[in-house]
Chain A
Amino acid sequence: MTNFGVSLKKGLQMDEAALIRAAQAGDSDAFEQLVRAYDQSVLRLAMNLLRSPEDAHDVYQEAFLRVYRNLNSFRFDCSFHTWLFRIVTNLCLDQMRKRKVRKEDPTVLATAEGPLDRMDAIAEERVDGDPQRHLFSGQVRRKIKEVLGELTPRERMVFELRHYQGLRLRRIGEMLGTSEEAAKNCLFRATQKMRAALGDFV
């Protein structure tokens, strides 16, 4: 593939279906436009689910490489967004399940001064000026992270897609290859667990 890095100043913005067709025909600029249209939300999803820049980076690479290699099998049966996020959510679920099996080090570390989030070491969280962060104490935020880490991978995924990414349950069901009702049950269980754990905090 060549000219991927060439900036796209064609003067005309193609609509998505035209972009996909152009990319399928080997137009690398069109493929780059597709990547740029979605890559921030892919990275944000992976980062929030995996809470590791290294793992989010790996998911980003693997997801777009898979899209590139299999673009010609995309048949417009669903939206490109759904197709892409089906790939991304599968990669993230695999990673979360591996972690559960390996029982990796938790991202929150117990220290003499109280728990410390591994993510804080990497300074990836929202900028300090974010008012949401100051509304709630560190204790509440740590508790939330702890509960998020205790959800099953599937509950965690549905909760992430609905609460943080703002997707409708019907779309989430399509992405995860399940029904809207099953996605609703997952969301319900996740919110119940969250409510039970945060009862005294919020």
Chain B
Amino acid sequence: MSDCKWARQRLALLLYGELNLDEEERVESHLDGCAECREVLGREKAMHAALDSVEVEPSPSLLTECREDLRLRLDESPAPRRIAWWQRISAAWVWRPAAALALVAIGFFAARQIPFAKTGISERVRYVEPAEGGRVQLVIDETRQRVISGTLDQAPIRGLLLAAAKDPSDPGLRVETMELLDGHAQSADIRDALIYAVEHDQNAAVRAKAIEGLAPYASEPDVRGALAKVLLADSNAGLRTEAIDLLTRGVTLDPQTVGTLQELLVRGEQPGYVRERCQSALRAVKASLETY
């Protein structure tokens, strides 16, 4: 291989500072004596600069949304898995029998010393009033937590999940419910819940998850109706982009969608991806870009 060819193959790595010392020395000394290769290096540097021009910076609002959603999801997450001290020393396997015996003993005595196990009951004081003899009387509401599990085919589980999908107090719960409902939108009640979330949920992450669950059914009229509403009215640019992609993906446009796209243009959709996609979809079916 000629020196020039050998050196040119290493110019990119030279710019990244990723050649070993010997190679770097050899390339540098070749460049000192070769004007053509120095010119190639100049072009390589120009390419580096051009590459920098496509870097994207996430918007501050996306970062804020990510942090907020993470906070919600962590609030709902169980505590991290703890590694018990005896697992940490488990490599010393000879200790295992002794450690196991010690744990049994600790468990036995602990059970006798602690009168109440953790109950999973939360309490709220509803009323307070003075009672005789300087005492006070409290009326307490107790909410008892219970763990149930099952499949979506079981009516109680399904009913609770559909209720959780609309729980106004907790967007994190709604996001996770949408994830569980994803893949089940062939059922009318689940699909209705997803459509309801797409059209009414205040939280963009919940709406995004609901759209994800409906995506496989984007050719069906009820889903298309919901997507059209997102496209026309949602405040989130990402969701509108998703909606136009799903509405114009691979199907012959139905008259309602043509109407929606025309309405979008009449409303003065700003130039950009959504507008271009809208126009190209209308052109593809030879529809007018205006309504009359």
Query: A: which residues have CB within 8 A of B?
Result: 1-2, 4-5, 24, 26, 28, 31, 35, 39-40, 43-44, 47-48, 51-54, 56-57, 60-61, 64-65, 68-73, 105, 109-113, 116-127, 132-133, 135-136, 140-141, 144-145, 148, 162-164, 168-169, 184, 187-188, 191-192, 194-195, 198, 201-202
Q: Across the interface, do A57 and B205 meet the contact criterion of CB distance under 8 Å?
A: yes
Q: Which residue of A lies closest to B60 (CB)?
A: A40
Report chain A residues within 8 Å CB of B54. Answer: 141, 144-145, 148
Report chain B residues within 8 Å CB of A117. Answer: 273
Task: Annotate B6-20 by CB proximity to A: 1 below 8 A, 0 otherwise.
Answer: 000100110010100
Q: Across the interface, do B58 and A35 meet the contact criterion of CB distance under 8 Å?
A: no
Q: Is the interface of A mostly helix, strand, loop or mixed?
A: helix
Q: Across the interface, do A1 and B74 meet the contact criterion of CB distance under 8 Å?
A: yes
B contact residues, total (Cβ < 8 Å): 54
Report chain B residues within 8 Å CB of A135. Answer: 49-50, 53
30 CB < 8 A contacts A-B: A26-B80, A31-B74, A35-B70, A39-B66, A39-B67, A40-B58, A47-B56, A51-B56, A57-B66, A64-B70, A72-B81, A109-B277, A110-B280, A112-B280, A116-B272, A121-B273, A126-B56, A135-B53, A136-B49, A140-B53, A141-B50, A141-B53, A144-B50, A163-B48, A164-B55, A187-B18, A191-B13, A194-B47, A195-B44, A198-B47
Report chain A residues within 8 Å CB of B237. Answer: 121-123
Further contacts, 16 of them, CB under 8 A, given A47-B57, A169-B18 = A1-B77, A26-B79, A35-B67, A43-B58, A51-B56, A53-B238, A54-B242, A65-B70, A110-B280, A112-B280, A117-B273, A120-B272, A122-B237, A132-B52, A141-B54, A144-B54
Report chain B residues within 8 Å CB of A192. Answer: 12
Report chain A residues within 8 Å CB of B52. Answer: 132
Report chain B residues within 8 Å CB of A198. Answer: 47, 50
**CB of B114 closer than 8 Å to a CB of A:** no
Shortest Cβ distance from A74 into chain B, in angstroms?
A: 10
Q: Across the interface, do B80 and A70 meet the contact criterion of CB distance under 8 Å?
A: yes
Report chain A residues within 8 Å CB of B79. Answer: 1, 26
Q: Across the interface, do B238 and A122 meet the contact criterion of CB distance under 8 Å?
A: yes
Known: A72-B80, A121-B241. A4 touches B75 (CB 8 A): yes
Q: Across the interface, do A43 and B80 meet the contact criterion of CB distance under 8 Å?
A: no
Q: Across the interface, do B53 and A132 meet the contact criterion of CB distance under 8 Å?
A: yes
Contact of A136 among B43, B53, B67, B241 (CB under 8 A): B53
**CB of B167 closer than 8 Å to a CB of A:** no
Q: Across the interface, do B75 and A60 meet the contact criterion of CB distance under 8 Å?
A: no
A28 to B77, CA, bound (A): 12
Query: B: which residues have CB within 8 A of A?
Result: 9, 12-13, 16, 18, 43-44, 46-59, 62-63, 65-67, 69-71, 73-75, 77, 79-83, 205, 208, 237-238, 241-242, 245, 249, 272-274, 276-277, 279-280, 283
A38 to B142, CA, bound (A): 41
Q: Which residue of B lies closest to A40 (CB)?
A: B63
Shortest Cβ distance from B274 into chain A, in angstroms?
A: 6
Report chain B residues within 8 Å CB of A202. Answer: 43, 46-47, 50
3 smallest CB-CB distances across A and B, nearest first, come from A121-B273, A191-B12, A60-B66
Report chain B residues within 8 Å CB of A64. Answer: 70
A48 to B75, CA, bound (A): 29
Q: Across the interface, do B53 and A61 meet the contact criterion of CB distance under 8 Å?
A: no
Q: Which residue of B lies closest to A105 (CB)?
A: B245
Q: Across the interface, do A53 and B58 meet the contact criterion of CB distance under 8 Å?
A: yes
A170 to B20, CA, bound (A): 12
Report chain A residues within 8 Å CB of B66. Answer: 39, 43, 57, 60-61
Report chain A residues within 8 Å CB of B70. Answer: 35, 60-61, 64-65
Shortest Cβ distance from A109 into chain B, in angstroms?
A: 6
A164 to B56, CA, bound (A): 10
Shortest Cβ distance from A149 into chain B, in angstroms?
A: 11
A133 to B56, CA, bound (A): 10
Shortest Cβ distance from B30 into chain A, in angstroms?
A: 18
Shortest Cβ distance from B152 into chain A, in angstroms?
A: 22
Q: Across the interface, do A57 and B62 meet the contact criterion of CB distance under 8 Å?
A: yes
Report chain A residues within 8 Å CB of B50. Answer: 135-136, 140-141, 144, 198, 201-202
